[in-house]
Structure 1
Amino acid sequence: MSRTVRGAVIDAIGGKWKVEDLDLAEPGPGEVRIKVMASGLCHSDDHLVTGDIPNALPMVGGHEGAGIVDAVGPGVRRLAVGDHVATAYLPACGRCRWCSQGMQYICDTGAGMENGFGLEGNPRFSRTSGQPIGAMQRLGTFADHLVTDESQAVKIDDDLPFDIACLVSCGVATGWGAAVNAAHVRPRETAMIIGAGGVGMNAVQGAHHAGAAYVVAVDPVDFKREQAMKLGATHAFASIAEAVPFVESVTNGQGADSAVITVGVVDGALIAEAFSAVRKEGRVALVSIGQNEPGIPISPLEIVTYAKTIRGVLFGNCNPTSDIPALLDYYKAGQLKLDELITARYTIDQINEAYVDMHAGKNLRGVLIHEH
């Protein structure tokens, strides 16, 4: 049996999102069906359109969601019908080497997500013609219902608004964790956040929460710099080149302790510029992706003699089962600003307009509200 749902599909690189009726399979063993109430409009979904993330198409977009469990498959143990949940855009088996060492964000079950099919290789979505459709990160929150493995749904408190909770599924956790878990921002340090969008704004909040003396936001968009100052940045500049003289003035010429790169699409030149802006033993946390390039123009001599590091960041190096609830607790305690991140709400029929707004720099985070 299947049910008909409504979702936004991308068919080809460079195309537009198409809203259509789709068939959704019933949940299988270990799977749950979620009635999606809200979905964040993340730049990662736009990478499907641009081809910056190599995924098989067609695909239902969306991975940043919150909703209500309305059906469970055989063997589901952690969730029940009626539970409010936020999605986790990476699965976590709890048994592999990585999960057992507290690194759920690189769980082995996250491999092979490019086709968007389930853990067992089964497509959850299909067109009414029978054509199988993948789901972004095995989720597809741009549909009003989805089926996913129970490890990709995290129970949340019933009193949390869905449009708030969905943000923690990706952008908030990724940005916050990039500063706290990957860049290891410490009290009294100077942290540069390069890119103040839906992810970078939360790196700003994470660095502020960690006690950085100076949180320097870098973004070419005036609106985003203004918002960064409201969310914990102490200073904001339009470019790294403009930020560096200030950073050097407050660090005795040494450079920033850390830099977090959260721009929408990155290139090697920007990574090199950020690397040069940090001090000896400085730390660069790279969140952003872009088209694969043959290399980054960084001198091995600088890496070795200054003992600097670059590390990749996936999901903020967070553990979704513990960190999603923790971040929402910070929100409820007034230590994490989430309401302020939402600059616009859209219906599913406005999804292409929403991404035009994102590219125009109008939004920190747009949120898709599903109608039921």
Structure 2
Amino acid sequence: MSTAGKVIKCKAAVVWEPKKPISIVEIEVAPPKAHEVRVKILATGICRTDDHILSGSIKANFPVIPGHEATGIVESVGEGVTNLKPGDKVIPLFLPQCGECTVCKNPEGNLCEKNDLGVPRGVMYDGTSRFTYKGKPVHNFFSTSTFTEYTVLHEDCVVKVDAAAPPEKVCLIGCGFSTGYGAAIKSAKVQPGSTCAVFGLGGVGLSAVMGCKSAGASEIIGIDINKDKFPLAKQLGATQCISPLDFKKPINEVLFDMTNGRGVDYSFEVIGRTDTMIAALASCNMNYGISVVVGAPPSAAEMTFSPALIFTGRTWKGCVFGGLKSKDAVPQLVSDFMAKKFCLDPLITHILPFDKINEGFELLRKGKSIRAILVFGDEQHTRK
């Protein structure tokens, strides 16, 4: 029986207020309105940014359904949608690409003006939500909300991908992999033969390592206080790994010592801490070093640093989604994955059924997972 045009009742993971566990409840998902798409989620990754919603360090409107890294199947489309149809395999885009704003039209821009990142609204473009619980609205997150069996997306926030792509793997291209890989390839434009330092070896940091290797960097130094991550980092391209806890001097001085006093050509902060952002900048060559802020900082964070760090020539920049234009990049990255140009398997340490979502978050917080993937319905199986 077709569900098009009807309200769908399904399970969703809702956060009622900060610092409270996620609870799985039955919600109602309204049909898509004009230029919207309703999607059945097949697999979704647990990202550190989702945990920031639970901790309250990133602002959101509550109650909210988190999740922004997923693969799904189009269930139905609203009026005016011409580039997608029911049955298409898609990846939701937390960073929209409307194609019409000044940012989308600029070849170097990717932070579409339709984004819901800085001052989150938690609703669709028309100011309303498609989610309700017991008759009351529930907010969406980053225009996506993938911790639910069904979600509704504006057509700016979803893109069709290869129908044969395995959902529990390519969902990573919706955030974690693309953010790290793109930071190296697109934002930093890492050059062959260069020296790189990656601060933080979680899923995004390891993807940055992969990007640096793909770009031809000759030396890639991985930095993390959790040494359990070192073997995988080296497997993916890191030439050496160090822990700041093993040194009495600041880590930026350690990196200068390791590079014969020059500093690294490129550094990537993939943690979201202001102190490591400054350390990553200070680790760069003072004339031409480039440091990229990749990790999402807490909403209220501020920092103080010496202007001498950039006066001498260093470049300090940030990027969202690796600087990539989402609709253009995601299908191509999926195609590259299918062509075996890179492998996502090492980044996936756990595959769990959706109802074990809180267990997935605990694995993340304890440093026991790189990426835990939640799967729904027929996709459910466990690994590791």
Q: TM-score, normalised by structure 1?
A: 0.94
**Structure 2 match to 1:154:** 159
One-letter amino acid matched to 2:305: I
Asked if the contact 1:343/1:363 (under 8 Å) is kept, the reply is yes
Q: Distance between the aligned counterparts of 1:203 and 1:294, measured in 2?
A: 24
Is 1:233 aligned with 2:238?
yes
Match of 1:252 among 239, 260, 266: 260
**Structure 2 match to 1:289:** 296
Q: Deviations over 1:291-347 (max 9, x none)?
A: 35674332112321x211211111111111121122222222322120111100112
Aligned length: 368
Asked if the contact 1:19/1:348 (under 8 Å) is kept, the reply is no
Match of 1:107 among 89, 99, 112: 112
One-letter amino acid matched to 1:144: E
**Structure 2 match to 1:346:** 352
**Structure 2 match to 1:279:** 285
**Structure 1 match to 2:29:** 24
**1:246 to partner: Cα distance:** 6.7
Match of 1:163 among 146, 162, 168: 168
Match of 1:321 among 324, 327, 330: 327
One-letter amino acid matched to 1:224: K
Q: Which runs of 5+ in 2 are unaligned?
A: 1-5, 379-384
Structure 1 residues 185 and 240: alpha-carbon distance in aligned structure 2, compared to 1, 3 A threshold = farther
RMSD over aligned Cα atoms:
1.8
**Structure 1 match to 2:13:** 8
**1:71 to partner: Cα distance:** 0.4
**By percentage of residues, which structure has more strand?**
1
One-letter amino acid matched to 1:53: I
Q: Deviations over 1:217-265 (max 9, x none)?
A: 11111221211111111111112985657744564311001110111x4
SS in 2 for 1:142: coil
Task: Report the identity percentage.
Answer: 31
**Structure 1 match to 2:382:** none
SS in 1 for 2:346: helix
One-letter amino acid matched to 1:100: K
One-letter amino acid matched to 1:354: G
Q: Distance between the aligned counterparts of 1:241 and 1:211, measured in 2?
A: 29
**1:276 to partner: Cα distance:** 1.3
Q: Distance between the aligned counterparts of 1:111 and 1:185, measured in 2?
A: 29
**1:111 to partner: Cα distance:** 4.3
**Structure 1 match to 2:308:** 301
SS in 2 for 1:168: helix
**Structure 2 match to 1:174:** 179
Asked if the contact 1:24/1:124 (under 8 Å) is kept, the reply is yes
SS in 1 for 2:357: helix
Structure 1 residues 318 and 240: alpha-carbon distance in aligned structure 2, compared to 1, 3 A threshold = farther
Q: TM-score, normalised by structure 2?
A: 0.91
Residues 32-43 of structure 1: pairs in structure 2 closer than 5 A = 32-43=37-48
Is 1:370 aligned with 2:376?
yes
**1:55 to partner: Cα distance:** 0.8
Structure 1 residues 294 and 369: alpha-carbon distance in aligned structure 2, compared to 1, 3 A threshold = closer
SS in 2 for 1:59: coil
Match of 1:47 among 35, 38, 52: 52
**Structure 2 match to 1:262:** 270
**Structure 2 match to 1:192:** 197
**1:143 to partner: Cα distance:** 0.2
Structure 1 residues 211 and 241: alpha-carbon distance in aligned structure 2, compared to 1, 3 A threshold = farther
One-letter amino acid matched to 2:335: D
Q: Deviations over 1:21-62 (max 9, x none)?
A: 001010010011111000011111111111121111110111
Q: Distance between the aligned counterparts of 1:26 and 1:171, measured in 2?
A: 29
Q: Distance between the aligned counterparts of 2:116 and 2:301, measured in 1?
A: 23
**1:102 to partner: Cα distance:** 3.0
Asked if the contact 1:98/1:106 (under 8 Å) is kept, the reply is yes
Asked if the contact 1:56/1:114 (under 8 Å) is kept, the reply is yes
Asked if the contact 2:35/2:78 (under 8 Å) is kept, the reply is yes
Q: Distance between the aligned counterparts of 1:361 and 1:226, measured in 2?
A: 14
Q: Which runs of 5+ in 1 are unaligned?
A: none
